[in-house]
A and B are shown apart, each in its own frame.
Chain A
Amino acid sequence: MTLPTEIPLQAYLVLAAVLFCVGVWGLINSRNAVRVLMSIELMLNAVNINLMAFSSYLDGQLIRGQVFAIFVITVAAAEAAVGLAILLSLYRNRETVDMERFNLLRW
């Protein structure tokens, strides 16, 4: 299988940049705590796209980027499980999922 030379590397990088920036915006502005976790998943996927693009275009023989992407997927799965457990615990204690009311550690 030949390298896809028609799609430039920069196309993947720009796509990942769009995904990452949308994720950052959602992370800052979401009021719902579940949506914050979804935004984190978007950002992790953007990083994974970058890793895979570099692995395919610049490191075609020793695809180290793919190995790193697998590790990122593993850590993302663990993060999602623990994050949602924390969310359930918070919901039981505060009776809300509004991020503005999780201000226990604020002043």
Chain B
Amino acid sequence: MTIASTTQLICFAVLSLTLVVGAFGVVLLPNIVYSAFLLGGVFISVAGLYLLLNASFVAAAQILVYVGAVNVLILFAIMLVNKREDLSAIPGLAVRRLLSALVCAGLFVLLVRVAFTTPWALPGPASIGEEATARIGEHLFSDYLLPFELASVLLLMAMIGAIVLARRDVFASDVITGEPADQGLLEKARTPLLTSKP
């Protein structure tokens, strides 16, 4: 499967355009729901770039993990904390934004300069193309076995930690009177349950 070079260039241009526009939209749009959906678009564009770089397995992982899990999680968080609030004005906000934009522009110039002045060892060894998935599996079970196992432990810890942090200490029924307790939504004030009284 060899894509013609012109097609590759066109794909790269379209993907990078959607990537940059989407990234600016994520940061700048006032409505956070639009930002979340644009973030999904950014993730899909990044997966397309991975396909251009002969990495179909990582592209699939990107789609599954980022679009399927992280983006949905962010949308759920927006839904749970969706309260219209007028952010109070802060003195010097425009100056702060301008200054941080200057710093970011400087960082960008530095990164571009590094990218163009470093003598990369090009062309490197030929890409193994579709053998990449098998090679990743060999890496994960031979020389990267310890990070692989540590990643599973990390995911377990993150899962338990997220449950512990996000859980509310509500009981289905009042512990003393036995009446069904008011399981308020997150937006409501916390109802005082009879849990701490003797």
Contact = CB atoms under 8 A, between A and B. Distances in A.
Interface residues of A, number: 79
A76 B126 CA distance: 30
Contact of A7 (B52, B61, B97, B166): B52
B128 interface: yes
A3 B105 CA distance: 32
Interface in A1-48: 1-7, 9-15, 17-26, 28-32, 34-35, 37-39, 41-42, 45, 48
B2 A34 contact: no
Contacts of B171: none
Contacts of A55: 53, 55
Instruction: Name the prevailing secondary structure of the B interface residues.
Output: helix
A75 B66 CA distance: 12
Interface residues of B, number: 92
Given A25-B101, A81-B159, A57 B124 contact: yes
B120 A62 contact: no
B158 interface: yes
B161 A82 contact: yes
Contact of A1 (B1, B16, B158): B1
Contacts of A14: 111-112, 115
B112 A70 contact: no
A81 to B, nearest CB: 4
A1 B130 contact: yes
B73 A45 contact: no
A21 B168 CA distance: 37
B111 A20 contact: yes
Nearest to B132: A63
Given A4-B52, A34-B77, A89-B166, 12 more contacts: A3-B126, A3-B127, A6-B5, A12-B53, A58-B122, A61-B128, A70-B140, A71-B147, A71-B151, A76-B70, A77-B70, A78-B154
21 contacts: A1-B129, A1-B130, A2-B126, A4-B5, A5-B5, A6-B5, A6-B8, A22-B20, A34-B77, A45-B46, A57-B120, A60-B128, A69-B58, A70-B61, A73-B61, A77-B158, A79-B158, A81-B158, A82-B158, A82-B161, A88-B81
List of 9 A-B pairs having minimum Cβ-Cβ separation, nearest first: A1-B129, A78-B158, A26-B27, A85-B165, A60-B127, A13-B115, A17-B111, A6-B5, A85-B166
